[in-house]
């Protein structure tokens, strides 16, 4: 399999494309474009016309918003296999966020008009885009819930828990992006995250540079619980 064929195979398995017939998929795949970005590159700019549906093949993309005062607020992070800009692109709207590579990143883009046209012809595609949007809504609701109802430590613990493979009880993992970005994604300052990590050493969480070692995942869940009760 050539590298590109591999990428296409990955695409085919994504929720966005999986329900499509081979024929429809082939039509879409015909107009695909591959891109590479280095950390810090801007992929799409807030306010620009959306012309492409994007899929992350490798690396991480951070969505940010420019606030009135010029500061940027991190809204969400996308990783391998995740789609973004799909709804704006299909609807012909403008980007409401900026997307920037948070690490070396490869993405695939499909021209908006091709996808939009196909969505009109093939109801499955429209529904699977809707499905993606729906999933995004849930993810954003999760974030809001976390920001409103959880303390810094709880959010950090939840994040760490997400690094542990399902059913595993202990884990050794690499932080997916820099601590600064992790902090921003959790709605924290870098210093606060650093202090939080330091505190969490006592419950079997060891962070050394980019490596995390989690002794007991259940203990993390228990600690999130405990922090709830204290209040």
Binding site for DNA (CB under 7 A): 151-153, 178-180, 187-195, 197-198, 207, 209-210, 231
Could you tell me which residues come within 8 angstroms of residue 173 by beta carbon, excluding any fewer than 6 positions away? 163, 164, 211, 212, 214
Instruction: Using the rule CB under 8 A, give the single segment among 2-10, 11-19, 137-145, 172-180 that binds a second copy.
Output: 137-145
List residues bridging with 99 in a β-sheet.
44, 63
Q: Tell me the C-alpha distance between 41 and 62, whole Å.
A: 11
Contact by Cβ (8 Å): 189, 119:
no
| Nearest-approach distance from CB 207 to a second copy, in angstroms | 23
Q: Is 229 in the site for a second copy (CB under 8 A)?
A: yes
Rounded to whole angstroms, the Cα distance separating 12 from 3 reads 14
Binding mask 206-225 for a second copy (x = CB under 8 A): ------------------xx
Q: Is 1 exposed, middle or buried (0-12, 13-18, 19+ CB in 10 A)?
A: exposed
Binding of a second copy by 148 (CB under 8 A): yes
The conformational region for residue 92 under phi > 0 = left, psi -120 to 50 = alpha, else beta, is left
Nearer to a second copy, 1 or 166 (CB): 166
Smallest distance, DNA to C-beta of residue 156, A? 9
Name residue 18's beta-bridge partners: none
- The residues of the shown chain that bind a second copy, judged by CB under 8 A, are 65, 67-69, 71, 73-76, 87-88, 90-91, 93, 96-97, 119-121, 123, 126-127, 129-131, 133-134, 136-138, 140-141, 143-145, 147-149, 187, 224-225, 228-229
């Amino acid at each position: 399999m050539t590298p590109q064929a591999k990428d296409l195979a990955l695409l085919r398995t994504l929720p966005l494309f999986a329900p499509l017939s081979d024929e429809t998929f082939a039509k879409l795949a015909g107009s695909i474009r591959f891109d590479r970005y280095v950390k810090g590159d801007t992929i799409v700019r807030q306010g620009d016309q959306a012309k492409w549906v994007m899929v992350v093949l490798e690396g991480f993309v951070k969505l940010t918003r420019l606030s009135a005062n010029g500061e940027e607020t991190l809204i969400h992070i996308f990783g391998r296999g995740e789609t973004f800009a799909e709804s704006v692109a299909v609807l012909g709207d403008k980007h409401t966020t900026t997307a920037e590579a948070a690490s070396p990143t490869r993405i695939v883009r499909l021209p908006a008009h091709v996808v939009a046209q196909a969505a009109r012809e093939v109801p499955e595609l429209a529904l699977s885009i809707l499905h993606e949007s729906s999933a995004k809504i849930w993810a954003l609701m999760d974030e809001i819930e976390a920001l409103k109802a959880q303390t810094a430590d709880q959010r950090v613990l939840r994040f760490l828990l997400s690094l542990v493979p399902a059913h595993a009880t202990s884990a050794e993992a690499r932080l997916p992006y820099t601590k600064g970005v992790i902090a921003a994604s959790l709605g924290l300052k870098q210093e606060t995250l650093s202090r939080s990590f330091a505190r969490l050493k006592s419950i079997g969480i060891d962070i050394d540079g980019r490596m995390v070692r989690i002794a007991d995942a259940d203990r993390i869940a228990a600690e999130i619980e405990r922090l709830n009760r204290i209040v």
